[in-house]
A and B are shown apart, each in its own frame.
Chain A
Amino acid sequence: MPEQAPGVRIDGLTVVYKTAAGELPAVRDISLTLEPGTITGIVGESGSGKSTLALSLLNAVQPPGRIAAGSVEIDGLGDVVGLRGEELRKARGRHVGYVFQAAQNSLNPLKTVGKQLLDLGRSHGVEDLRGLVREAKELLGRMGLDGARVLDSHQHELSGGMRQRVGIMLALVLNAHLVVLDEPTTALDMITQANILKIVREVHAERGLTTLVITHDIGVVAEVADRLAVMYGGRLVEQGPTREVLGAPSHPYTRGLIKAIPRLVGDIDEAQALPGRPPTLTSVPDQGCVFRDRCPLRMDVCDTVDPAAVPLGSRIVACHAVNVKEHA
C-alpha cells in the first residue's frame, strides 16, 4: 500500500468502442502525467472522452469499449492496462479510489451505507472492521456529516450532497492515495458544489493524494486544479498549469471555451458561444485535426495531418497554427 501520493503516467492511450461502423476511438493517443500530490482537472464537453479516460485509470472501460493501445503506469501498481482478475479487483478501491457523479446512484438501494462499507472491507480482506467503521465515521465527520447516522441510512434517505460525500468516503476509506472524481459536482446546487470542492481540496492536502477531477465545468477546475487538461473529440488539445492555461489559452478550442463563459460584470453579449457542435464518436474525422471544422485558425495542413502534442513552455498544445506562430 503506497503511503504517499503516487504519480501516474498515461502514455499513448487509445480506447476504442465497437460500433456498427467498426471500432471507433473515443480516446486517441493521449499522453498525460499526473505528478504526485497534485490535483489535475480534465475538462471537455459531453462525448469528448473524458469519462472513458477516467475509467481507463482503473482498466474499467466497459464493453463494447476496450483499451486498444498505450499504457497507464501508476506508482506501486505498474501498468494497469495489463492487470487482470483478482489483481485488478484488489487495485480498485485499495490503490485507486473512484468517486461517481453525484447524481448517479452509486449505492445499493437495498443496503445501508454501513453494510456496504462492511462489504467493501470484506472484499479487500480488512481484518479490523471496527477500525474501518471508525475511519469511515471520522471521514464523514471531517466532511461535516453525522457519521453514525449516515452509516445507518439507505441511499434514498440521503441528499445529493450527502451521497457525494459518502462516495468520497468510500473512495478514501481503504487509504487509496490516487483518487479519480468523475463529475463530482454535477447536479448539485451551488452551495453544495462549493462545499464539495472545498472538501476535495482539503482532503487532498490532508491525506497527501494524487487527484484527478473530470468535469465539463471550467469553474470547478479553476477552483481546485493545479494542472488543467482540455479534451476535445477524444484528444488532449492543451494541458498546463491551470492559471496559465486559463489566463492565456493557446489552443483555439480553449480560447473559445473561455470566451463562452458569461461574466458577472459587463455585457452578457461579450460571452460568445463556440460556433458549430462537438464531434460524436461517428463524426470524429479519422485524419487531420479534430477541431478544424470549428476552428478560426484553420489551415490547409489541418485537413490531413493530426497535430502532434508539442511542449510549449510549461504546457503542451496540439495545434498546427499555434506551433507555426511559435516557431515563426
Chain B
Amino acid sequence: MTPIAKRLAGHLARGFVMILVVATISFFIINNIPGDPMAARFEELIEQGASPEAAAQSVKVLYGFQPDGSMWQQYLDYMAGLFRLDLGQSVTRPGTPVLDVLLEKAKWTVLPVLIGTLVSFLVGIILGVYAAIKRTGKLGDALAISGSLLHGIPQYVLAMLLVVIFATLIPILPADGPVDILFEPGFNAGYIGSLAEHAVLPVVTYALSAYGGWILAMKSSVVTVLGDDFILAAELRGMKRSIVFRYIARNAILPLFTILALSLGLLMGGAVFIEKIFNYPGLGLLLIDSVNERDYATMGGAFLLITGAIIIANIVADLFYTVIDPRVRSGEESA
C-alpha cells in the first residue's frame, strides 16, 4: 500500500469509530433529555382518544423505533438503521426520512457558506501577507484594523446592516429568501440569475465576517515566517523579491489550511441567524426548528451530519498536508 493510501485507511477507520461514538452519545442524550418526545407524543395520542396499541404503533412509525422496547433494543435498532443510512423519520414531517430533509436543506447552506468562506480565505490571506510586510506602515495598520473590526462585529449584526443598506435604504439586492418563486426551478437563466442575486447578501455576510479571522491569522503566520532564517538567507543570496515573496507565502499559508478545513466542516451546521435574516431554509434553520419542535430524530441526524462533515474535513486537510508539505510526506514514508 502506498503511504498515502495507508494514511487514508487509518483515517477512515478512526473517522468511522468517531461517528459511531457520536451517534451513541447523541442517541443517549436525546433519549434521556427531560420531556421525552416519544412519551409526550404517546400521551398526546392517548389524549386524542387513540388506543394504547394504536398510539404505540403510530409513535413507532414516527420515530422509526420501538418506544416501549428496552433502551438497549432501541439503541441497536437505531445503530442498525444508521448502517442503512436510515436516520429515522422526521417527527414534524410525518413519513419523511430525516436524511431526505437534511439533504434538501443542505443545498441552501453549503453553497453560500462555501463560496463565502473560500472568497474570504483568498482575500484574507493575500491581504494578510501585505498587512504583515507593511506592518510598520499605514497600509498595514489599516488592514489589521479592518480585520479586527470585522472580526469583532457579530455575524448577525453584519447581516442586518447589509439588509438595511442594500435591501432597504438602497434597494438593489433582495433579502427575502433563496430565490424568486416566480421562476420555474430548473436550469434556466431566470432561475439561476435569481438564485445568484439572492445569494449575494448572504455570501457577502459570510465572507466579511470570516475575512477578519483570515487576515489576522495570515498576518501573524507571515510575521513568524519572516523571522525564519531561510528568508534572510534567500535575501542574502540575492533572490528576486517575487521569489522570496512566494517562499514566505507558501510557508505561512500551511498552518491556515487546518483552520480552513475545520471551518468548511463547520459550515454544515449553517449559520442560524444569517439564515433567519435572509430567510434561507438551510441547515441552521432546520436545526433550530427541530429543537423548538422537539423533532429529536431530525436533531440527531443534524448532529451526525455536522460531526461527519468535520471528520471528513479533517481527513481531507491531513491528506492535503501530505501533498503540500514534504516534511509530512517523508515522515510517513519512514514510518
Taking CB atoms, residues of chain A closer than 8 Å to B235 are 60, 92
B184 at the interface (CB under 8 A from A): no
CA–CA, A91 to B238, complex, Å?
Answer: 7
Taking CB atoms, residues of chain B closer than 8 Å to A154 are 326-327, 330
Q: In the complex, which residues 161-202 of chain B have their Cβ closer than 8 Å to any Cβ of chain A?
A: none
CA–CA, A233 to B262, complex, Å?
Answer: 51
| Chain A 143-183 per-residue mask, 1 if CB under 8 angstroms from chain B, else 0 | 00000000000101100000000010011000000000000
B233 lies within 8 A of A106 (CB): yes
**Taking A62-B232, A104-B229, A105-B229 as contacts, is the C-beta distance between A110 and B238 under 8 angstroms?**
no
A263 at the interface (CB under 8 A from B): no
Taking CB atoms, residues of chain B closer than 8 Å to A92 are 235-238
CA–CA, A12 to B228, complex, Å?
Answer: 31
A123 at the interface (CB under 8 A from B): yes
B330 lies within 8 A of A156 (CB): yes
B103 at the interface (CB under 8 A from A): no
Interface segment, one of A3-11, A17-25, A93-101, A276-284: A93-101
Taking CB atoms, residues of chain A closer than 8 Å to B324 are 110
Taking CB atoms, residues of chain A closer than 8 Å to B145 are none
**Taking A119-B243, A154-B327, A154-B330 as contacts, is the C-beta distance between A108 and B236 under 8 angstroms?**
no
A294 at the interface (CB under 8 A from B): no
Taking CB atoms, residues of chain A closer than 8 Å to B228 are 105
A58 at the interface (CB under 8 A from B): yes
Kindly provide the distance from the CB of A163 to the nearest chain B CB, expressed in whole angstroms: 11
Q: In the complex, which residues 205-255 of chain B have their Cβ closer than 8 Å to any Cβ of chain A?
A: 228-230, 232-241, 243, 247, 250-251, 254
Taking CB atoms, residues of chain A closer than 8 Å to B238 are 89-94, 120, 123-124
CA–CA, A10 to B268, complex, Å?
Answer: 65
A107 at the interface (CB under 8 A from B): yes
A82 at the interface (CB under 8 A from B): no
A109 lies within 8 A of B229 (CB): no
Kindly provide the distance from the CB of B243 to the nearest chain A CB, expressed in whole angstroms: 5
Kindly provide the distance from the CB of B57 to the nearest chain A CB, expressed in whole angstroms: 63
Taking CB atoms, residues of chain B closer than 8 Å to A167 are 233
Taking CB atoms, residues of chain A closer than 8 Å to B243 are 119, 122-123
B330 lies within 8 A of A157 (CB): yes
CA–CA, A92 to B232, complex, Å?
Answer: 12
B325 at the interface (CB under 8 A from A): yes
Measured CB to CB, the nearest residue on chain B to A98 is B236
B237 lies within 8 A of A110 (CB): no
CA–CA, A231 to B210, complex, Å?
Answer: 53
A109 lies within 8 A of B232 (CB): no
A156 lies within 8 A of B327 (CB): yes
CA–CA, A171 to B226, complex, Å?
Answer: 21
Q: In the complex, which residues 104-143 of chain A have their Cβ closer than 8 Å to any Cβ of chain B?
A: 104-112, 119-120, 122-124
Kindly provide the distance from the CB of A190 to the nearest chain B CB, expressed in whole angstroms: 24
| Chain A 10-41 per-residue mask, 1 if CB under 8 angstroms from chain B, else 0 | 00000000000000000000000000000000
A170 lies within 8 A of B251 (CB): no
CA–CA, A94 to B247, complex, Å?
Answer: 20
B237 lies within 8 A of A170 (CB): yes
Kindly provide the distance from the CB of A183 to the nearest chain B CB, expressed in whole angstroms: 12
Taking CB atoms, residues of chain B closer than 8 Å to A62 are 232
Kindly provide the distance from the CB of B122 to the nearest chain A CB, expressed in whole angstroms: 20
Measured CB to CB, the nearest residue on chain B to A116 is B234
CA–CA, A17 to B113, complex, Å?
Answer: 48
Measured CB to CB, the nearest residue on chain A to B229 is A104
* A60 partner, pick from B236, B241, B247, B250, beta carbons under 8 A: B236
B326 lies within 8 A of A109 (CB): yes
**Taking A109-B326, A110-B251, A154-B327 as contacts, is the C-beta distance between A100 and B239 under 8 angstroms?**
no
Most A CB contacts (10 A, CB to CB) among B235, B236, B237, B240 go to B237
| Chain B 79-106 per-residue mask, 1 if CB under 8 angstroms from chain A, else 0 | 0000000000000000000000000000
Taking CB atoms, residues of chain B closer than 8 Å to A100 are 229, 233, 236
Kindly provide the distance from the CB of B141 to the nearest chain A CB, expressed in whole angstroms: 17
CA–CA, A156 to B329, complex, Å?
Answer: 11
CA–CA, A106 to B327, complex, Å?
Answer: 16
CA–CA, A58 to B243, complex, Å?
Answer: 19
* A58 partner, pick from B230, B236, B250, B251, beta carbons under 8 A: B236
Beyond A109-B230, A109-B327, 6 extra complex contacts between A and B, CB < 8 Å: A100-B233, A109-B251, A109-B326, A110-B251, A119-B243, A156-B330
Q: 8 closest A-B pairs (Cβ-Cβ)?
A: A93-B238, A92-B238, A106-B233, A104-B229, A123-B240, A98-B236, A93-B237, A154-B326
18 pairs of residues in contact across A and B, judged by CB atoms under 8 Å: A58-B236, A90-B238, A93-B236, A93-B238, A93-B239, A98-B233, A100-B233, A104-B229, A105-B229, A107-B233, A108-B251, A110-B251, A110-B326, A112-B326, A119-B243, A120-B239, A122-B243, A156-B327
Q: Please list the residues of chain A having a beta carbon within 8 angstroms of any beta carbon in chain B.
A: 58, 60, 62, 89-94, 98, 100, 104-112, 119-120, 122-124, 154, 156-157, 167, 170-171
